[in-house]
Amino acid sequence: MTTESFKPKLLIATSNPSKMREYAGLLRDAPFQLVSLADLGITHEVDETGDTFAENAQLKASEYGSNAGILTLADDSGLEVDALGGEPGVFSARYGEKSPLIPIYEGGGQVISPSEPRSDQDRVDLLLKNLEGVPWERRTARFRCVLAIWFPPSRDEPPEDRSSQLAPKDAKKNPNPPFVKGGWGDLAPAPMTLLVGSIAGMIQYQPMGEDGFGYDPVFLLPSYGLTMAQLPLEEKNRISHRANAAGKAVKVLNQAFSGQPPAFTS
């Protein structure tokens, strides 16, 4: 039996093997055994109905956490372009699929008709189309990532003190429990910690670079003179918005492991 198997489990709310590999590196200094939704046999997909990255991250962390009953980390992230009023934002992965996109910037871009499904290249093309006519100095943007860590309610309390928190036996399970409540798990509410990471840049006029994915080929880092898609993977993972948030998460997770109470958000 390996040392890893003796560590407490931390559920990473994804079934994506690539994302799990990324988190394995980002959270390597946290004293937990990382498990995925697939590892636990969880196939249910949480509807990301929030209006912000924070709301979506909390929705996923609370529902998956209360389902699994263990410490859970979930994230939501995307691209925010200032000239487009923060779009695509929470719709970064679904940009242009549900409704026509009308550029915010006066004099730039055009209405693009929706079509499903869209590829990464389609979304990049749509973004650049919506930024036509926007001058360089107005093409500021950032990648933002919000991590939510859901902490299971304490099991040390006497049963009589916890009974009032149990869901009624005749209650119907809510498929979309409020993100602040920890869902219909054994015990609710459960505390939650939010951690935010971001990286600022500019949106190029055309894609450059073969590595990366999503909007990486048009996201220029002025201090490097390169797009995210041109950076070596090791360097990208060191400075990315997800790495920035994960670095903060390692500190919180180490505190939790040592028995120190983490800073919770409401």
| Residues with a known catalytic role | 76
Q: Between vectors from CA 148 to CA 92 and to CA 185, what angle results, nearest 5°?
A: 115
What is the Cα–Cα distance from 26 to 18, expressed in whole angstroms?
Answer: 12
Phi-psi region of 101 (alpha: psi -120 to 50; beta: other; left: phi over 0): beta
What is the Cα–Cα distance from 16 to 242, expressed in whole angstroms?
Answer: 15
Contact of 37 with 43, CB cutoff 8 Å: yes
What is the Cα–Cα distance from 185 to 173, expressed in whole angstroms?
Answer: 10
